[in-house]
Chain A
């Protein structure tokens, strides 16, 4: 009879579910995007700059604009393709000036969570560009993932910045 409390206690424990799963529901946007900012570097120093009438698209998707005649753009956010092509080209224009920027990147599949599934992170290892609008591009954080951390600093030519800002 003394065992009954023990046995009852043991049966109660069977009712405790094995609450280990808990995947939850995915509420995240799972596309990794490049975060880039526009800057000017001159004799005064380095400062943010804004571009007006700014248009931006993938070179292979000129009909599908990521930015369309946007005003006061200092920061841009854009995706990279999941394929393993060596680089991806983007076309852009600010007022009447146009340019191209090529981003060399290595994609890798990474699990976001078991609820959301996978995303593609990218490692940017090189950036090339034409020199009409852009002075230089600096890779400040090569890893493109779901964070908002800035990856590229795009330095606009000071003379051009005076005309397009």
Chain B
């Protein structure tokens, strides 16, 4: 009981702190790590239910309008077909920077129209079993398997997107990543069905959509150096 009240009071203190930061005058700007989750992967439940991917992101306005970003995720694929069963699981990470291109007239506006770049790396294992090859001359082949293979891939991306603040510190936005693969481990038996964070394993380039909801932990206030002056109203 005592412990519970201790946690509750700590939580209240944090909320008060964050509220007081938000309630301060509008001459300064809030920053803190913004933690996001990609909701676009939920569309896979309908469009590609055999693939599940979970993507998280963290960014931070390190300098005004410049946001270093890291993104990471996990993907699992199970394909059940009449003539084979395929499984794959893997992780990926992206690191890069987003630059906000919008010029705002007030310091406490956080809408973003941004461009940036990423360097990404992925690791996955995949295997196939219960392979059947029908043959009308020799006996067909049944029950074959391809042992687990490990695949690494890395690629670079340019990214563009928008992001709005729905409520205080709650953000939503989409982004498009155009990916160009730099290298991938060769597998003589099969190309990966999908490289986590990149897309189809056999392709050199891909496009990935993200639709992210994010929460910013408002840790700090600072005074921005550049503010576009409000245009004077025409007479």
Could you tell me which A residues sit within 8 Å of B by CB distance?
A: 3, 6-7, 9-10, 13-14, 16-22, 30-31, 58, 61, 64, 66, 78-83, 108-111, 114, 117-120
Say whether A110 contacts B189, CB under 8 Å. yes
Complex alpha-carbon distance, A44 and B149, angstroms: 52
Complex alpha-carbon distance, A66 and B137, angstroms: 8
Q: In the complex, how many angstroms separate the beta carbon of A9 from the nearest chain B beta carbon?
A: 7
Complex alpha-carbon distance, A30 and B172, angstroms: 47
Say whether A58 contacts B137, CB under 8 Å. yes
- Report which of B83, B193, B199 forms a contact with A118, defined as CB distance below 8 A: B83
Which residues on B sit within 8 Å (CB–CB) of A14?
39-40, 43, 211
Say whether A6 contacts B200, CB under 8 Å. no
Say whether A20 contacts B83, CB under 8 Å. no
Q: In the complex, how many angstroms separate the beta carbon of B112 from the nearest chain A beta carbon?
A: 10
Which residues on B sit within 8 Å (CB–CB) of A78?
137
Q: Could you mark each residue 131-172 of chain B with 1 if its beta carbon is under 8 Å from any beta carbon of chain A, else 0?
A: 111010111110011100000000000000010111000001
29 A-B pairs with C-beta separation under 8 A: A3-B111, A3-B166, A7-B166, A10-B164, A10-B211, A13-B209, A18-B47, A20-B199, A21-B51, A30-B133, A58-B137, A61-B137, A78-B137, A79-B138, A81-B138, A82-B135, A82-B140, A82-B144, A83-B138, A108-B188, A109-B128, A109-B189, A110-B188, A110-B190, A111-B146, A111-B189, A117-B131, A117-B133, A120-B133
The reply to whether the CB of B36 lies closer than 8 angstroms to some CB of chain A is no
The reply to whether the CB of B186 lies closer than 8 angstroms to some CB of chain A is no
The reply to whether the CB of B182 lies closer than 8 angstroms to some CB of chain A is no
- Chain A residue at minimal CB-CB distance from B175: A13
Number of interface residues of B (CB under 8 A): 46
Which residues on B sit within 8 Å (CB–CB) of A9?
162
Complex alpha-carbon distance, A111 and B193, angstroms: 11
Chain B 75-89 residues near chain A, CB threshold 8 A: 79, 81, 83-84, 86
The reply to whether the CB of B191 lies closer than 8 angstroms to some CB of chain A is yes
- Report which of A19, A22, A31 forms a contact with B135, defined as CB distance below 8 A: A31
Do A64 and B211 form a contact, CB below 8 Å, given A7-B164, A19-B47?
A: no
Q: In the complex, how many angstroms separate the beta carbon of A57 from the nearest chain B beta carbon?
A: 9
- Chain A residue at minimal CB-CB distance from B142: A82
| 5 interchain residue pairs of minimum CB distance | A111-B190, A82-B141, A117-B83, A81-B138, A13-B174
Complex alpha-carbon distance, A6 and B162, angstroms: 8
Which residues on B sit within 8 Å (CB–CB) of A118?
83-84, 128, 131, 133, 144, 146, 190
Say whether B43 contacts A17, CB under 8 Å. yes
